[in-house]
Amino acid sequence: MKKVSLKGFIAELKSSMKGEYFNALWPVGGFFIIFIALSAILMFFFQGIASSIMMNIMMVMYGMTSAGAIGLALLELLVALVLMLAVNFFYGFIQAAIQYAYVARFRNTDTKVTATSIWAQYKRLNKNQLWRLALYIGLFMFLWTLPLDIIAGIFARNQVVVITCRVLNLLLVIWKSLQYSQAYFLYNDQRPEFLGQSMRHALTASKRFMRGLKWNLLLIAVITIVLPIVVWLAIFGGLGYYGIYTATNFWIWFGFIVAFLGVVAWLPITYAATALYYQQTAPEQNLDTIFAGTFKSVEELTGQK
């Protein structure tokens, strides 16, 4: 499998950002800020309701309130949880739309990544298939990490075993994330074929797609996505912590706000990098071979075979 040159990849990424960065920044950053704000508000209410439930339980024990108050609080907690899941799924759809908009941009230079193009991609998404794909990824990640979590729980008093399990789980999550990294792109290119099919076929195809490419993608992701964000957060997040240590409000607000805005500013490059990697590696792959033996025939789906 032909690997992507880091130098060539960075040059192409820079070229794709020229004259188009700010057009993408406002919708990409705007959706992210809205997501963070809504998540923070819902988390605040979630914690408040959870504290109220604990208080009501104590009051019931002393006969100061009825069990109905606990039931009402539990209902509020359930509503808050459902809203949190809805916000997360909605932002997941937006992320997919952004990535697909960048793929369209790399395949047709006349196409631009703007709020309009992102929203157009969002409207054509099959949300039912996408949330099923997200659930499959989450489920498989959970099942892969579960054995080590169980071992860490059994040997909770042995810090060496616990730390070892945590490190191995982190490495496992990174490895599986690399394997599943192209699932959304492969699904998008084969979307008509997924009608009535299991979404786990996208994960199988992604694993085949990434054979021989995982270390290559890891290197590119670390250099173009992870390292710049880590350095930025280390500098300005450090200023924020310095403000906390010295009780200086200016440095607290300045450090953390600039750190957050830096992450927001890097989001278009992050999405562009993931889409560009797929676009540069996909021509070397045969999608028919990648998906071979996955999709069921119409006869099998309809029970006629």
pLDDT at residue 48 greater than cutoff 80:
no
pLDDT, residue 143, reads 94
Which stretch of 33-37, 48-52, 111-115, 255-259 has the lowest confidence by average pLDDT? 48-52
Task: Give the residue-averaged pLDDT of 40-64.
Answer: 72
Share of the chain above pLDDT 90, in %: 60
Quote the CA–CA distance of 70 and 290 in Å, as a whole number. Answer: 53
Kindly state the tokens that stand for 276. Answer: 């560009």
pLDDT of residue 61: 61
What is the model's pTM? Answer: 0.89
Name the band, by pLDDT with cuts 50, 70 and 90, for residue 257: very high
Question: pLDDT grade, residue 68 (50/70/90)?
Answer: low
CA distance 7 to 101: 24
User: Which one has a higher pLDDT value, 24 or 65?
Assistant: 24
What is the model's pLDDT at position 296? 82
Range scoring the smallest mean pLDDT among 6-20, 56-70, 269-283: 56-70
Between 50 and 4, name the one with better pLDDT: 4
Average pLDDT over residues 15-34: 91
Q: What tens digit of pLDDT does each residue of 131-187 get? A: 999 999 999 999 999 999 999 888 888 899 999 999 999 999 999 999 999 999 999
The two tokens of residue 294 are 């996955």
Contacts of 75 (CB under 8 A, 6+ apart): none
Average pLDDT over every residue of 202-224:
94
Looking at residue 258, its amino acid is V
Q: Indicate whether 192 pLDDT > 70.
A: yes
Q: How confident is the model at residue 63 (pLDDT cuts 50, 70, 90)?
A: low
Whole-angstrom distance, CA of residue 100 vs CA of residue 102:
5
Instruction: Convert 66-81 to b/e letters by CB count within 10 Å (16 or more is b).
Output: eeebbeebeebbeebe
